[in-house]
Amino acid sequence: MPHTNQRKDLFDKWAGTYDADLRGEEAFPFLGYDAVLQSFVKRAEIQPAHRVLDVGIGTGNLASRLNIPDEQIWGLDFSSAMLEKAQLAHPGAHLVQADLTREGWLEKLDSRFDRILSSYTFHEFPDAVKVEILKKMASYWLKEGGLIIIGDISFQNLADYHSAQERFAAWWDGDEYYWCAEALSDVLCQAGFSMYYEQVSACAGIYQLTWKGC
């Protein structure tokens, strides 16, 4: 797993150009980025009274599409520079700096949410770490009947994963951990989740997770 401080420095530096880079991006891993966020919001079915947690909120791109007041949005990110950008975009949101790979992040929030959302964040973690973080979030932060929605770099099955690895070899980052729905389906089920997956672009998809408990 990449050194946390190195990744944090990378995202702190990227914060200044992040939004502009994504607007003009039509290469791996952000092919179809706008379509992914549109599908994400549709799948999340945010209601007017919902309290929402955005994990890896970045500069607030996803939060800007939720159509609820900032005061109903909580955001986590490990980059202080990204959070500064998000606070400008969403001055009423509750933003917290947290590193999900270190101890103490669960205690950063004392609340329950109707939706826990995350876009283009969990590929930073190996699959076992992904699942452990999701279990903790569901146990501590998800309201009964709530949903976790993940939009990220992902592939339907192992054949598509390996095909993409060849197709996008020049951009494939060996320090990241892209999702494979086929490989994670049973693991997530055993961890206490039911899973729905939708492939949206050539390199990204949406996971809808319902927590059943272990």
Domains of the chain and CATH, by start? 4-211 (3.40.50.150)
**Res 133 pLDDT > 60:** yes
* SS3 label, residue 33: helix
Q: List the beta bridge partners of residue 199.
A: 205
| Share of residues in the chain with pLDDT > 90 (%) | 81
Band (131; pLDDT cuts 50, 70, 90): very high
pTM tops 0.85, yes or no: yes
Q: What is the pLDDT of residues 164-199, one digit of tens each?
A: 999 999 999 999 999 999 999 999 999 999 999 999
Q: What is the pLDDT of residues 4-58, one digit of tens each?
A: 666 656 665 555 566 666 665 578 998 989 999 999 999 999 999 999 999 999 9
Q: How far apart are the first and last CA of the chain?
A: 27
Q: What share of the chain is helix, strand, coil (3-state, %, to 5)?
A: 40, 25, 35
111 phi-psi bin (left φ>0, alpha ψ -120 to 50, beta other): beta
| Share of residues in the chain with pLDDT > 70 (%) | 87
- 53-81-179-61 Cα dihedral, nearest 10 degrees: 60
Sign of CA dihedral 139, 144, 145, 150: negative
